[in-house]
Amino acid sequence: METLDSLFYGFSVALQWENLIFVFIGVLAGTIIGMLPGLGPVSAIAIMIPITFGMNPASALILMAGVYYGAIFGGSTSSILLNAPGVAGTVATSFDGYPLAKRGQAGKALAIAAYSSFVGGTVSIFGLMLIAPLLAKFAVSFGPAEYFALMVLGLTAVVSLSDKSLVKGLIAAVVGVMISIIGIDLQTGTLRYTFGVSQLYEGIEFLIVALGIFALAEVFVMLVNGGQKQNQHHIGSLKLNKREVKEMGPPVIRSSVLGFFTGVLPGAGATIASFLGYSVEKRIAKDGDTFGKGNVKGVAAPEAANNAACSGSFVPLLTLGVPGSGTTAVLLGALLIMGVSPGPLMFQDRPDVFWGVIASMYIGNIFLLLLNLPLIPLFAKILEIPRAMLLSLIIVFCMIGVYGLSFSLFDLGLLLGFGLLGFGMRMYGFPAAPLILALILGDIMEKSMRQALQISQGDWMVFIHKPISVTLLGLALLSLFIPVINKMIKRKQKANIEMKA
């Protein structure tokens, strides 16, 4: 009953006319941004941060959450039509969606993606509503040592899931921690990494780094790849027959549950969830050999999983204050800028933000379905926006956002510097998520570690004396070593196969 009462309170917040408008704007903007290849939800949310300045935190998070799940929802369009995923979480959708489009069934593939995304998003909102309060009650017992261990786990989990190289993920995380401690140490008065530059005494604003690493870097990447031409396809019919609906039902339910629990894990996210959903369905399907050739289950499973993971990633963010992905890391930064600290006490301190966002997700999912089905042919034309206009808009948003912070030209220089850093990282395969996560968690980790050491009078054993913290630190070590062990096993298996050959 308590949960239902809280949910009704959330709906009273989400159904306010201004919040309904923000939900609509968020999912519409997210859908459009998700459709544009290369411009993912992280960049979109980073661009949104300056727009949310001065807004009520509940309305701001409702808007940005709408952009997030709208981008995941919309990313399937470019995956299916162009084989160019708008976001990483929809890469698996292109495996069967694009072959369907080539057969003249793009409309059907887009409709399957829309229905599956709606079911996945709705199932995961129920999970978020039921699991988040239980997790928050448990998290209240956390002290500084447990929080430090939790932050370490969140960071190592993201690093371990770095696309290509664990070492590059670790390097990116170290750079993020170094950026987070730039400025005056308020406890000791020591200047750290300021190099005598007075503008760095107060540290570097999160927004400058986020806009540079994601949005401006994306501009540079688009400029480099500017000569690529886009293909266009006939949309076709959106109708599904009974056999297709019956065929996609079980995979959608299974992938929704799988995607939600994948999203709950710190470090996992929509991309991992979509690939898991796709691979599971391919393994258990009787017609698994047709996956990759236009199987409707190959579109339904990853779409349900990635949208479920999107809502699932809000569980660790809102209840523990630990972002589970690069996108939720940017959301965490935005909340901190607005003076809202996500964590176990958020239920009591800011119920309007917590329950308002959950209720808005129900409304947002309905908006997405109503928007996407009838407007799919129209949205497809947005893919034809001139690249020069798109790049100009991103640059203007970035500059206004950063200059509005402090009216400082030095900060604009920093923005350019971080843009070049982000571009270099993209070119040489360094993941940006560990850097941005370390930037956010670095300061919190340092404070928690200092508090724990002060309480224990400088005894470092405080981190392994408490069962929760030692368990979390153990999981952090496992998350780092398991990928290494897996690689060693695969190399050994490959060597054995080559020897037998």
CA–CA separation, 135 vs 166, rounded Å?
30
Beta bridge partners of 191: 184
Q: What are the helix (H) ranges across 265-295?
A: 270-284
Q: Which amino acid is at 163?
A: D
Closest C-alpha among 278, 247, 250 to residue 92: 278
Residue type, position 377, single letter: P
Residue whose tokens read 């006319």:
17
3 state SS of 95: helix
Tokens of 172: 């990116």
Among the listed residues 417, 379, 383, the one whose alpha carbon sits nearest the alpha carbon of residue 398: 417
| DSSP type of residue 452 | H
What string of pLDDT tens digits covers the 501 residues of the chain?
666 777 788 888 888 888 889 889 888 888 887 776 556 677 778 777 777 777 888 888 888 888 888 887 777 776 777 665 656 677 678 778 878 877 777 778 888 888 888 888 888 888 877 777 776 666 666 778 887 887 787 777 667 656 567 788 889 889 988 998 998 887 788 899 888 888 888 888 877 887 788 778 878 887 887 655 444 455 666 677 888 888 888 888 888 888 888 777 665 567 667 777 887 787 787 877 788 778 888 888 888 888 888 877 887 787 777 776 677 778 888 888 778 878 777 777 788 888 888 888 888 888 888 877 777 767 666 556 677 776 787 788 778 777 876 788 898 999 899 999 999 998 888 887 778 778 877 887 888 888 888 888 888 888 888 888 888 888 888 877 877 777 777 777 777 777 766
- The two structure tokens encoding residue 155: 């960071």
The secondary element (H helix, E strand) that includes residue 191 is: strand 191-192
